[in-house]
Amino acid sequence: MNTQKPLAISARNLTKSYGDNDVLKGIDIAVPEGSVFSLLGPNGAGKTTTVNILTTLIPSNGGDAFVGGNHVKNDADEVRKIIGVTGQFAAVDGLLTGRENLHLMGNLHHLGKKETRRRSEELLERFDLVDAAGRAPATYSGGMKRRLDLAMCLMGDPRIIFLDEPTTGLDPRSRRTVWEIVRELVKGGTTVFLTTQYLEEADELADRIAVLNDGKIVAEGTPAELKRTISGGHISLRLHRADQVESAAQILSASGFDADQLTVQVPSDGSVSSLRNVLDTLDREGVEVDEMSIHTPDLDDVFLALTGGDKTAA
C-alpha cells in the first residue's frame, strides 16, 4: 500500500543470547512513524533486551534493526542523533541538581547556552519541577525522578522515544501524569516505543501491541484485535431449574454448561443486541433465570492466555 506511513522502527528476526540463555528468539517489529507501539510482556520476557538493541546499547546476535531508517549496528551514531531513551532505572546524575541535569543534556546536544537555558526552563515548567530544580534528585520522589528523566530525554528534541517500563514502581497518580506526557508527545508527531508489564497501560496508550513472552512475539495487533483473538467474552447464566440446563445450553449454542451448578455460558461480544437476543430466546422457551452476568474480555485475558498463565481467576 502506498498510503502506508514509513516505518520509524523496524526489526527482522532479532536474536540475542547470553551463553546458553536465548533471551530473544527471533522477533520482528514494525512501528509506523508517529504511532505508539507497546511491547507487553512479563518480567524476563526480553523487553529490556529489545530496547537495548534498538537504542544501540548492545548488539544483537542475529537479524537487522533500523531506527529512523538507520541500521542500529552500522549507523549507530545516526540512530543516537534522533532517539531519546528513558530506561527502567532513573538515568539522572544524582550529584547534580535537576536543572544542572538538564543543562548537562543541553550541552551534550550542543544546543548552545541560550537554547539550553530556554529549553531547560520550559521543560521544568512543563513537568512541574520548577520548585525542585535547585535540589539534587536524591531528594526527589519516584514520580519526580521519572519526570526529570523524561525531561532529560526530551532536551534533544528526539523524533523517536524509547520508554522502558516508564511507570514501574510509580503510584497511580504519577502513572497518569506519565501517560499524559506520552499522549502529548504523540500529538506532536513523536514515535513512541513503550515496554510495559501493565495491560492497562498498553491499552491506554498504544496503537499497536505486541505480546512478548519467553523471547518470542506471541501475538500482535491493535488492542481491539487482540481482545478479539481470545474467546473470553460470554454471558454467564444461572438457571432456576436443573432440568432446563441442558436444553437451554443447546438452544443458545452455549460454550459450556454445568448441570450441578445450574450455570450456562453463552459466547457474546457483550453488546446490547446480543444480550437482547439471549433474553428473548430465554423468554420464548420459558427458561427461568436466577442470575446473569456479562464478562467482556480484557487484555488480561489475552495476556494470560497467550503467556501461558491461568485465566480462571479473571
Partner 1 sequence: MSTLAYTMSDTSTMLRRQLKHMIRYPSLSIMLIGMPVVILLLFTYVFGGTLGDGLGGTTGGREAYLAYVTPGILLMTISGVMQGTAIGVATDMTQGIIDRFRTMSIARVSVLTGHVIGAVIQTFLAMALVLGVAIALGYRPEADALDWLGLVGVVAVITLGLTWLTVALGMSAKSVEEASNTPMFLMLLPFLGSAFVPTDSMPTVMQYFADYQPFTPFIEVVRSLLTGTAVDTTDLALAGAWSLALGLLGYVIAKKKFNKS
89 binds partner 1 (CB under 8 A): yes
Q: Nearest distance from residue 43's CB to partner 1, in Å?
A: 18
- Which residue of 14, 24, 39, 92 would you call a contact of partner 1, by CB under 8 A? 92
Q: Nearest distance from residue 299's CB to partner 1, in Å?
A: 29
Cell 430466546, located at residue: 281
Q: Nearest distance from residue 201's CB to partner 1, in Å?
A: 21
Query: Residue 248: enclosing H or E segment and its boundaries?
Result: helix 245-251
- Which residue of 91, 279, 294, 314 would you call a contact of partner 1, by CB under 8 A? 91
Cell of 267: 459466547
- Which residue of 9, 83, 123, 194 would you call a contact of partner 1, by CB under 8 A? 83
- Taking the least distance from each CB to partner 1, the nearer of 85 and 264 is 85
71 binds partner 1 (CB under 8 A): no
130 binds partner 1 (CB under 8 A): no
Site string for partner 1, 107-126 (x = CB under 8 A): xxxx----------------
Strands (DSSP E) found in 33-86 = 36-40, 62-67, 70-71, 83-86
Query: Residue 142: enclosing H or E segment and its boundaries?
Result: helix 142-154
* 86 alpha-carbon distance from chain centroid: 15
Candidate segments 25-33, 72-80, 242-250, 285-293, binder of partner 1 by CB under 8 A? 72-80
68 binds partner 1 (CB under 8 A): no
Task: Count the neighbouring beta carbons within 10 Å of the beta carbon of residue 104.
Answer: 17
Residues in the chain: 314
- Which residue of 12, 80, 126, 216 would you call a contact of partner 1, by CB under 8 A? 80
Q: Helix, strand, coil: what percent of the chain each, to 5?
A: 35, 25, 35
- Which residue of 5, 71, 74, 95 would you call a contact of partner 1, by CB under 8 A? 95
**How many whole angstroms separate alpha carbon 206 and alpha carbon 39?**
9
- Which residue of 65, 85, 132, 264 would you call a contact of partner 1, by CB under 8 A? 85
Number of residues that bind partner 1 (CB under 8 A): 28
- Taking the least distance from each CB to partner 1, the nearer of 55 and 120 is 55
Q: Nearest distance from residue 226's CB to partner 1, in Å?
A: 30
- Listed residue (145, 147, 114) closest to 128, CA to CA: 147
Which residues inside 140-199 make contact with partner 1, applying CB under 8 A?
Answer: 152-153, 156
**How many whole angstroms separate alpha carbon 157 and alpha carbon 106?**
10
Question: What are phi and psi for residue 75, nearest 5 degrees?
Answer: -120, 45
81 binds partner 1 (CB under 8 A): yes
Coil, helix or strand at residue 83: strand
Q: In what order do the strands lie in the sheet with 263-267?
A: 256-258, 263-267, 234-239, 289-295
Q: What is the DSSP string of 171-217?
A: -HHHHHHHHHHHHHHHHTT-EEEEEES-HHHHHHH-SEEEEEETTEE
Coil, helix or strand at residue 74: coil
Q: Nearest distance from residue 161's CB to partner 1, in Å?
A: 11
- Taking the least distance from each CB to partner 1, the nearer of 53 and 211 is 53
Candidate segments 3-11, 81-89, 124-132, 183-191, binder of partner 1 by CB under 8 A? 81-89
| Beta carbons within 8 Å of 188's beta carbon, 6+ residues apart | none
Coil, helix or strand at residue 173: helix
Q: Nearest distance from residue 84's CB to partner 1, in Å?
A: 8
Q: Where along the sequence are the contacts to partner 1 (CB under 8 A)?
A: 55-57, 77-78, 80-81, 83, 85, 87, 89-96, 100, 104, 107-110, 136, 152-153, 156
